[in-house]
C-alpha cells in the first residue's frame, strides 16, 4: 500500500479542565487519581457522539471531581498518540467552581454520572506548586503554567460575552414578503439545539437578541432549558444596524464594559461593528483573534470573548469560536 492509500485514523477528541480556586490568597487546583493508570492528572475524557468540546469539558470535570464548574479561558491543549498509534487531542480550559449565580446554566445541562472508584479513587485540592510536583506526566504541566500566568497577571477571573450569529435560515428569495419573520431551516433549528451545551458550559445567564425570528429561534432552546427570558433589542436587527450603526454598538457595549456572562445574537451585517468593538478590548497578549473577514461567523457559530476587569478597564483575555456539530 502506498503512503497516499494509507488509512489515516481519526483523531480522538477529548476535553477537560483545570479546576481552580483561591484560598487565603493562594491559587489552588484540583487533581484526580486514576488507579488504572496509577497517575495524577487533570479531569478529562472523550467527547460523546455529537457533543461539543466545551460541553464535554464541563461534563467530565463534574463527573470526575463531583463539582459542577463553568469554563473560563482556554488553556494549551495536548496532542499525543495512544498505544495503538491513534492520535489524540485534549482541549483544556481554566474552570471555576460554579456558584448559585450559575443556576440557570447548570439547569440546562444533562445529569452527570459519578465514576466508579476503579476510574477515579481520589480528588485533591493542592497549591499550584504542589500540583506541578504531583502531576505524573510532564506534558500536563503546560496548561498549569498558562493558568498560573493568568492568575499572576490578574486575568484568570473572567466573565464571557458570547456573540452569536443566528442559525441557517430560509433563503430570502423563498421568503420575500416579511424579512422579520424569515424562519430557520431544519438545519438551523438543529444548530440552535446544539448551541445549548456550549452556552451552558460558559455559564451564560443572560440572553440578548434581535427580535427577528431567525435570531429569536436560535436562542430559544437555551432560553427554554434555562427558564431565562430573552431581552429583545431592536438595535440588533439588520434594519436598525443599517440605519444607525452607533445604536447597535451602544446596545452591545455594556456587555463588554460590565461583563456578565451574556449571549448576544444578531445578524451578519451587524457583526462587522460588533467584531470591531470586541477587537478594541483586545491586547497583544490576548489569546486567539477576532474573526477578520466577512461573514465574520458562520451560521450557528459563536465567538466567546473572555473578559477580565483589570485596573485599566475591561480587557479581552481570550477569544475562541465554536460551531457545535448537530447532535446525533
Torsion over CA: 67, 69, 75, 78 (sign): positive
Residues 191 and 318 in one domain: yes
The torsion angles phi and psi of 39, rounded to 5 degrees, stand at -135, 160
pLDDT value, residue 6:
52
Please say whether the beta carbons of 137 and 159 come within 8 A.
no
172 with 133, same domain? no
Q: What is the CATH number of the domain that holds 268?
A: 3.40.50.1240
C-alpha–C-alpha distance, residues 311 and 326, integer Å:
41
In the listed set 152, 184, 215, which residue is the last one of a domain according to the structure?
152
Provide the H-helix boundaries in 168-306.
186-201, 213-226, 238-243, 245-252, 254-257, 268-280
Which pLDDT score, from 0 to 100, does residue 140 have? 97
Does residue 24 lie within any of the structural domains?
yes
In-domain check, residue 3? no
What's the pLDDT at 215? 98
CA distances from 288 to 8, 16, 269 (A): 29, 19, 22
H or E stretch including 102? none
User: Which residue from 118, 100, 144, 153 is spatially nearest to 38, judged by alpha carbons?
Assistant: 118
Instruction: Identify whether residues 236 and 165 lie together within a single domain.
Output: yes
Of the candidates 164, 144, 141, which has an alpha carbon nearest to the alpha carbon of residue 156? 144
170, part of any domain:
yes
Q: What end-to-end distance do the CA atoms of the chain give, in Å?
A: 34
Boundary (domain end) residue, out of 121, 152, 183? 152
Please, what is the Cα angle at 254 between 268 and 323, to 5 degrees?
Answer: 40
> What parts of the chain have a pLDDT lower than 50?
1-2, 4, 328
DSSP state of 287: B
Cα dihedral 22, 27, 33, 34, rounded to 10, equals 100
Whichever domain contains 66, its CATH number is 3.90.79.10
State whether 193 and 306 are in the same domain: yes
State residue 328's pLDDT score.
46
Residues 109 and 244 in one domain: no
Kind of pairing between the strands at 159-165 and 231-232? unpaired
pLDDT at 180: 93
C-alpha cell at 147: 493558568
Alpha-carbon distance values, 134 to 1, 69, 94, 126, 127 (Å): 45, 22, 18, 9, 10
Residues 210, 192 contacting (CB under 8 angstroms) = no
Tell me what pLDDT residue 102 has: 97
Spatial neighbors of 179 by CB under 8 A, at least 6 apart, are 172, 212, 238, 239
- Does 4 map to a domain? no
Residue 2 included in any domain? no
Q: Are residues 163 and 295 in the same domain?
A: yes
* 197 in any annotated domain: yes
Residues 267, 207 share a domain? yes
Give the three cell numbers for residue 233. 433589542
* CA pair distance 220, 186, nearest whole angstrom: 14
Look up the domain containing 256 and give its range: 159-322
How is residue 123 written as a grid cell?
Answer: 480528588
pTM equals 0.94
313: left (phi over 0), alpha (psi -120 to 50) or beta: left
Say whether the peptide bond before residue 295 is cis (omega within 30 degrees of 0). Answer: yes
Same-domain status, 164 and 141: no
Asked which of 99, 132, 152 is the last residue of a domain, the reply is 152
C-beta separation of 176 from 287 below 8 A: no
Q: Do 268 and 164 lie in a common domain?
A: yes
Residues 175 and 301 both lie in one domain: yes
* Tally of domains within the chain: 2
Q: Tell how strand 159-165 and strand 302-310 pair up.
A: antiparallel
> Quick one: 135 and 168 in the same domain?
no
> In the numeric block, which cell numbers belong to residue 15?
476535553
Do 141 and 166 lie in a common domain? no
Q: What is the CA radius of gyration of the chain?
A: 21
Residue 304 within a domain? yes
Whether 102 is covered by a domain: the verdict is yes
Amino acid at each position: 500500500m502506498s503512503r497516499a492509500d494509507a488509512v489515516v485514523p481519526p483523531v480522538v477528541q477529548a476535553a477537560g479542565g483545570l479546576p481552580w480556586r483561591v484560598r487565603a490568597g493562594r491559587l489552588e487546583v484540583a487533581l484526580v487519581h486514576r488507579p488504572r493508570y496509577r497517575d495524577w492528572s487533570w479531569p478529562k475524557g472523550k467527547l460523546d457522539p455529537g457533543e461539543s468540546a466545551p460541553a464535554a469539558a464541563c461534563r467530565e470535570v463534574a463527573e470526575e471531581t463531583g463539582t459542577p464548574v463553568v469554563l473560563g479561558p482556554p488553556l494549551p491543549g495536548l496532542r499525543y498518540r495512544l498505544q495503538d498509534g491513534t492520535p489524540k487531542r485534549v482541549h483544556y480550559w481554566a474552570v471555576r467552581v460554579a456558584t448559585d449565580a450559575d443556576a440557570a446554566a447548570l439547569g440546562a445541562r444533562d445529569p452527570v454520572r459519578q465514576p466508579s472508584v476503579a476510574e477515579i479513587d481520589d480528588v485533591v485540592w493542592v497549591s499550584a506548586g504542589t500540583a506541578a510536583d504531583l502531576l505524573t506526566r510532564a506534558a500536563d504541566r503546560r496548561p498549569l503554567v498558562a493558568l498560573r500566568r493568568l492568575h499572576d497577571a490578574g486575568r484568570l477571573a473572567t466573565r464571557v460575552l458570547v456573540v452569536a450569529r443566528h442559525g441557517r435560515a430560509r433563503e430570502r428569495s423563498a421568503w420575500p414578503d416579511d424579512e422579520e419573520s424569515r424562519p430557520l431551516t431544519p438545519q438551523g433549528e438543529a444548530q440552535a439545539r446544539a448551541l445549548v451545551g456550549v452556552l451552558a458550559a460558559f455559564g451564560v445567564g443572560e440572553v440578548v437578541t434581535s427580535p427577528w425570528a431567525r435570531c429569536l429561534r436560535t436562542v430559544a432552546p437555551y432560553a427554554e432549558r434555562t427558564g431565562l427570558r430573552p431581552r429583545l433589542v431592536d438595535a440588533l436587527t439588520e434594519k436598525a444596524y443599517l440605519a444607525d450603526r452607533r445604536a447597535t454598538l451602544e446596545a452591545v457595549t455594556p456587555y463588554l464594559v460590565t461583563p456578565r456572562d451574556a449571549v448576544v445574537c444578531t445578524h451578519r451585517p451587524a457583526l462587522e461593528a460588533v467584531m470591531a468593538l470586541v477587537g478594541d478590548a483586545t491586547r497583544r497578549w490576548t489569546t486567539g483573534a477576532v474573526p477578520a473577514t466577512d461573514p465574520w461567523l458562520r451560521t450557528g457559530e459563536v465567538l466567546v470573548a473572555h473578559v477580565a476587569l483589570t485596573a485599566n478597564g475591561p480587557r479581552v483575555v481570550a477569544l475562541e469560536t465554536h460551531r457545535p456539530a448537530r447532535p446525533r
